[in-house]
């Protein structure tokens, strides 16, 4: 899948001097790897360096120009606003009468329109938590409505119309491919009984749109993008099941969090509960009775007060061995190894254990099950019933959309969004948005998501590692590819079951001091079966509820599945086992990937885009096996890896600087091999020109420290020298140095803005013009 690369060409450009240095390195590295055993078993011959040597002038330009331009960035926060990622707009003024005065004409519980502001919601809930914890040590149970926690205000257009002018199921039908009968997923507003409306938490039917979605419309019934968005919002407003609990992460690299259970019996939107009045009471705010009376909410203040009065909880109460991340922190403080050695038993699980587990919960249920236990128990029974009848049901459903739509610029068919939270395709031609803004949005979503997943696992000790395309992008520069749209993570089956037991249906909330991200943990019912399947090969997801983008989790375990012949006797893998044998230590996911223990363990502590992650032991051979030229190809779909900057830049972005006089209409005539040649032998003017580009400079500024650390890591792990990190050349005692390097890994402050401020403030204020 990766484009062909002209590796030999690059090689011919290496200077003699460089070859001499390389040989010296090789001698040293062979010795080093023998003694440390890092690349044991690897038969990959890698280039010792991907980097060209710059001529002396170019090298000097790189150093001086970088310094000069980085100070520019720091002196011009407004121009380089994307480099300022801290929260800014943390206060929100909310006209409070609409919440607390039921006789107000525009009271939120009576109006049709919806209100959303994450700062307001967090303020109310953090304050409520504080007061609950004042009176009781128990984990509180609070009302919850998706309408408060995700932005459904795109429905306001519809909700403000008179009923007879609103869109109904038939409009959806006409905009859906194959024009299906919609009755299996859509109800016209008039079809809802008054009781149903009450049950859904509303007082009048006008508060619901003309079409009420209660089910997924199947993958073959694809609506246009905007209609799929409205379907998701209508569902979230009405029938979307609530999470089991909400977990608000605290701190940056510790194991603290706050948690509350969601009251399953309340459909209370804030507008219908007394939480806002309680907030005012708690804060001694007296309503002055004025109609436009507003209160300023500051969730950061609430958060800090909560932290001060009630230290966050930790999971130490839950059973389980040691939190490996605690051990990593301890080891880091002593410059000791941060490798996590896994136990083979973590990869063993059999559906025969299901019946025993059911019995266990049955006998326990007399004395009472926790909400988590009860949910897991129901999952086991559901699994058991389905398996008995031989019918497996697809758990995860996606937001398929039409591709016969000019605005669907990438012909995205929607398979990588959770339909329930779909908020538009990543590269959809949105009115008022530039392409550059859309891609910044994607970067924010992916990087914040992996970061929050790390924070969650840091606190719970759940062990997982990046794999597939995510590992490949890590390999290059320790960042996520700028064109990526998803994240892949694996875990041992034991961890998957642990995730299901304790955290299924948990809404994980990003540390409020850093952003407003919210992610739903959803573990599929069929995780108990470890054989290959067509329907449920994704075991769990961490779904960004603001966009529908998710991390895919696959569990690895022994099973009766048989590795396809492509795994045996190849240069990179040699995996085979006796037919249907589930006793040998060969681990598979439920799709098609098979591994041996040493390819996974020990896991290494590393970094991806500023967040710690774990990576598997066998990287090169597996990546080579999975992506034939992925480790070598410095070009993919018109994106080029520019070694000097350690960044992937787009062809059109590069051409501007490499061929400054060329007209844009000629860009397409430039052969990729020409660009490849140019980026591996940049002149001093070209380097200066690249660094004069604000967009490139911003990215370089944000990532240079990270990619430098990664360059060191590549050196220790694979022996690849980066000749733009000169210090790498004087190097001794690599094993200790590797430990000293990983001791430096820790979550840095997010390198991207948070999505809420980006969308609601910065983008509107600054705009990012398309420059390529
Ligand atoms: C760990 O290594 C760093 C150098 O990277 C050194 O400054 C520090 O003193 C070391 N810490 C311990 C506990 O040895
Ligand atoms: C911590 O260091 C000890 C001693 O080097 C090592 O045995 C252990 O595997 C390390 N654990 C982790 C999780 O890094
Ligand atoms: C996780 O929760 C969902 C929703 O309640 C349920 O359908 C699923 O079976 C649960 N997964 C497991 C493994 O219990
Ligand atoms: C693969 O393993 C088999 C049996 O373990 C062995 O006979 C064969 O030589 C191996 N092939 C390669 C290419 O290493
Ligand atoms: C990169 O590291 C240097 C030295 O530690 C530090 O001064 C600088 O602020 C860092 N840059 C960024 C963008 O974080």
Count CB atoms within 10 A of the CB of residue 316.
12
Confidence of residue 40 (pLDDT cuts 50, 70, 90): very low
Rounded CA-CA distance 181/204 in Å is: 27
User: Confidence band (pLDDT; 50, 70, 90) for 47?
Assistant: low
Per the model's pLDDT, the better-predicted residue between 253 and 489 turns out to be: 489
> What does each C-alpha distance from 549 to 145, 416, 444 come to in angstroms?
21, 7, 11
> Helix (H, G, I), strand (E, B), or coil: what is residue 336?
coil
Which residues have any ligand 5 atom within 6 Å of their CB? 701-702, 705
Q: Phi/psi at 555 (nearest 5 deg)?
A: -90, 150
CB 531 within 8 A of CB 466: no
Report the separation in Å between the CA atom of 338 and the middle of ligand 1, taken as the mean of its atom positions.
Answer: 14
Contact 722, 690 (CB under 8 A): no
- Residues lining ligand 1, CB < 6 A? 334-335, 740, 743
pLDDT in tens, 575-603: 999 999 999 999 999 999 999 999 999 99
Nearest atom within ligand 3 for CA of residue 527 = 13
Q: How far is CA 517 from the centre of its chain?
A: 10
The 10s digit of each residue's pLDDT in 663-682 is 988 988 999 999 999 998 89
Task: Say if residue 172's pLDDT is above 70.
Answer: yes
Instruction: Give the residue-averaged pLDDT of 198-217.
Output: 95
Quick one: average pLDDT of 567-572? 89
pLDDT the model gives residue 319: 55
Handedness of CA 87, 93, 96, 98 (dihedral sign): negative
Residue 381 has a pLDDT of 97
**Residue 18: predicted pLDDT:** 41
Tens digits of per-residue pLDDT, 438-463? Answer: 999 999 999 999 999 999 999 999 99
Query: Are 211 and 223 spatial neighbours (Cβ–Cβ below 8 Å)?
Result: no
For residue 48, the model assigns a pLDDT of 60
Instruction: Quote the ligand 4 centre to 568 CA distance (angstroms).
Output: 7
**pLDDT the model gives residue 711:** 94
Contact 714, 720 (CB under 8 A): yes
Give residue 712 CA to ligand 1 midpoint distance, Å.
17
Rounded to whole angstroms, the Cα distance separating 476 from 480 reads 9
Alpha-carbon distance 63 to 66, whole Å? 5
Ligand 3 binding residues, C-beta < 6 A = 375-376, 379, 382, 500, 504-505, 523, 525, 527
Residue 610 pLDDT exceeds 70: yes
> Residue range 85-92: average pLDDT?
96
Q: How far is residue 735's CA from residue 69's CA, in Å, rounded to a whole number?
A: 36
Kind of pairing, strands 506-509 and 611-615?
Answer: unpaired
Task: Give the pLDDT band (50/70/90) at residue 290.
Answer: confident
**Once rounded to an integer, what is the mean pLDDT over residues 285-307?**
90
Ligand 2 and 511: CB distance under 6 A:
no
In the reported structure, the alpha carbon of residue 611 is separated from the centroid of ligand 1 by a whole-number distance in angstroms of 21
Identify which of 71, 705, 712 to mutate to test ligand 5's pocket (most ligand atoms within 8 A of the CB).
705
Ligand 3 atom nearest residue 525's Cα: 9
Q: What is the average per-residue pLDDT within 87-99?
A: 93
Residue 743 Cα, ligand 1 centroid: separation in angstroms? 9
**Is 446 within 8 Å of 482 (Cβ atoms)?**
no
Confidence (pLDDT) at 54: 83
What is the atom index within ligand 3 of the atom nearest the CA of 382? 9
| Cα distance between residue 120 and residue 236, in whole Å | 19
Please name the residue whose Cα sits nearest to atom 1 of ligand 2: 331
Residue 20 scores a pLDDT above 80? no
Question: Residue 618's CB: how many other CB atoms inside 10 A?
Answer: 22
Please state the atom number of ligand 1 nearest to the C-alpha of residue 333.
Answer: 13
Alpha helices by DSSP H, listed for 461-505, are: 468-477, 493-503
Q: The tokens 């009271």 sit on which residue?
A: 107
Band (121; pLDDT cuts 50, 70, 90): very high
Q: Mean pLDDT for the chain?
A: 91
Asked if pLDDT for residue 769 goes beyond 70, the answer is: yes
Any atom of ligand 2 within 6 Å of the Cβ of 331:
yes
pLDDT at 482 over 90: yes
Q: How far apart are CA 357 and CA 378, in angstroms?
A: 11
pLDDT of residue 322: 84
Better pLDDT: 7 or 83: 83
Nearest to 452 by CA among 539, 498, 500, 518: 518
Nearest residue (CA) to ligand 4, atom 8 = 569
Report the chain's terminal Cα–Cα distance, integer Å.
24
Average of pLDDT values for 396-408? Answer: 97
Ligand 1 geometric centre to CA of 735 (Å):
14
Residue 569, ligand 4, Cβ within 6 A:
yes
Q: How far is CA 604 from CA 249, 440, 614, in A?
A: 24, 29, 5
Please determine, for residue 504, whether its predicted confidence score (pLDDT) is greater than 60: yes
Q: Ligand 2, atom 6: nearest CA belongs to which residue?
A: 337
Q: How confident is the model at residue 35 (pLDDT cuts 50, 70, 90)?
A: very low
Q: Is the pLDDT of residue 506 over 70?
A: yes
Quote the ligand 4 centre to 489 CA distance (angstroms).
29
Q: How far apart (Å, rounded) are the C-alpha atoms in residues 189 and 251? A: 45
Condensed to tens digits (0 to 9), the pLDDT of residues 507-537 reads 999 999 999 999 999 999 999 999 999 999 9
With a 6 Å cutoff on the Cβ, whether 327 touches ligand 2 is yes
SS3 351: coil
CB 24 within 8 A of CB 17: no
């Amino acid at each position: 899948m990766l484009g062909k690369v002209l590796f030999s060409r690059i090689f011919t450009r290496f200077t003699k001097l460089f070859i001499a240095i390389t040989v010296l390195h090789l001698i040293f590295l062979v010795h080093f790897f023998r003694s440390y055993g890092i690349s044991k078993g690897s038969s990959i011959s890698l280039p010792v360096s991907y980097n060209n040597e710059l001529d002396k002038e170019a090298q000097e330009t790189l150093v001086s120009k970088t310094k000069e331009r980085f100070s520019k960035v720091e002196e011009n926060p407004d121009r380089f606003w994307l480099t300022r990622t801290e929260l800014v707009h943390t206060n929100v003024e909310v006209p409070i009468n609409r919440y607390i005065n039921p006789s107000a004409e525009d009271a939120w519980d009576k109006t049709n329109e919806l209100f959303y502001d994450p700062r307001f919601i967090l303020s109310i809930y953090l304050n409520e938590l504080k007061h609950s914890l004042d009176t009781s040590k128990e984990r509180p149970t609070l009302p919850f409505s998706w309408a408060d926690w995700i932005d459904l205000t795109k429905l306001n257009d519809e909700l403000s119309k008179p009923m007879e002018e609103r869109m109904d199921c038939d409009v959806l039908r006409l905009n859906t491919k194959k024009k299906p009968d919609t009755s299996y997923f859509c109800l016209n507003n008039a079809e809802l009984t008054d009781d149903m409306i009450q049950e859904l938490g509303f007082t009048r039917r006008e508060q619901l749109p003309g079409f009420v979605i209660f089910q997924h419309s199947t993958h073959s019934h694809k609506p246009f993008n905007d209609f799929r968005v409205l379907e998701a919002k209508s569902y979230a407003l009405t029938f979307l099941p609530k999470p089991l609990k909400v977990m608000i992460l605290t701190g940056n690299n510790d194991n603290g969090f706050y948690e509350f259970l969601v009251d399953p019996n309340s459909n209370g939107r804030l507008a219908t509960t007394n939480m806002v009045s309680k907030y005012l009471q708690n804060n001694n705010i007296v309503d002055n009775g004025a109609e436009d009376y507003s209160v300023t909410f500051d969730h950061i203040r609430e958060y800090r007060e909560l932290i001060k009065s009630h230290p966050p909880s930790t999971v130490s109460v839950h059973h389980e061995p040691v939190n490996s991340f605690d051990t990593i922190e301890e080891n880091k403080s002593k410059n000791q190894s941060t490798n996590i050695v896994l136990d083979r038993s973590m990869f063993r699980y059999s559906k025969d254990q299901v019946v025993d587990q059911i019995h266990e919960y049955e006998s326990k249920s007399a004395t009472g099950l926790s909400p988590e236990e009860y949910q897991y128990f129901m999952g086991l029974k559901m699994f058991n019933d389905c398996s008995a009848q031989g019918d497996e049901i697809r758990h995860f459903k996606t937001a398929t959309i039409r591709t016969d739509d000019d605005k669907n610029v990438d012909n995205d068919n929607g398979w990588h969004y959770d339909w329930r939270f779909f908020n538009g395709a990543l590269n959809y031609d949105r009115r008022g948005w530039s392409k550059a803004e859309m891609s910044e949005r994607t970067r924010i979503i992916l990087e914040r998501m992996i970061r929050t997943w790390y924070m969650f696992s840091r606190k719970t000790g759940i062990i997982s590692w990046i794999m597939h395309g995510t590992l490949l992008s890590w390999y290059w520069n320790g960042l996520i590819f700028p064109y990526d749209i998803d994240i892949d993570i694996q875990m041992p089956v034991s961890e998957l079951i642990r995730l299901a037991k304790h955290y299924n249906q948990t809404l994980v909330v990003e540390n409020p001091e850093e952003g407003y991200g919210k992610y739903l943990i959803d573990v599929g019912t069929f995780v108990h079966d470890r054989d290959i399947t067509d329907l449920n090969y994704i075991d769990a997801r961490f779904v960004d509820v603001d966009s529908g983008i998710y991390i895919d989790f696959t569990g690895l375990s022994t099973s009766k599945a048989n590795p396809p012949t492509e795994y045996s006797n190849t240069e990179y893998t040699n995996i085979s086992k006796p037919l249907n044998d589930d006793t040998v230590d060969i681990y598979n996911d439920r799709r098609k990937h098979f591994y041996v223990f040493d390819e996974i363990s020990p896991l290494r502590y590393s970094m991806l885009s500023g967040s710690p992650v774990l990576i598997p032991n066998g990287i090169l051979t597996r990546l080579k096996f999975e992506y034939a030229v992925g480790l070598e190809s410095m070009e993919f779909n018109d994106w080029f890896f520019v070694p000097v900057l350690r960044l992937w830049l787009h062809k059109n972005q590069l051409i501007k600087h490499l061929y400054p006089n060329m007209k844009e209409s000629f860009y397409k005539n430039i052969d990729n091999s020409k660009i490849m040649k140019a980026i591996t032998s940049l002149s001093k003017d070209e380097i200066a020109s690249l660094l004069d580009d604000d967009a490139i400079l911003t990215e370089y500024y944000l990532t240079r420290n990270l990619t430098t650390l990664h360059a060191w890591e590549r050196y220790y792990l694979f022996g690849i020298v980066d000749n733009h990190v000169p210090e790498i050349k004087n190097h001794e005692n690599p094993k200790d140095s590797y430990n000293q390097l990983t001791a430096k890994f820790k979550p840095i402050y997010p390198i991207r803005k948070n999505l809420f401020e980006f969308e609601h403030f910065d983008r509107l204020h600054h705009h990012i013009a398309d420059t390529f």
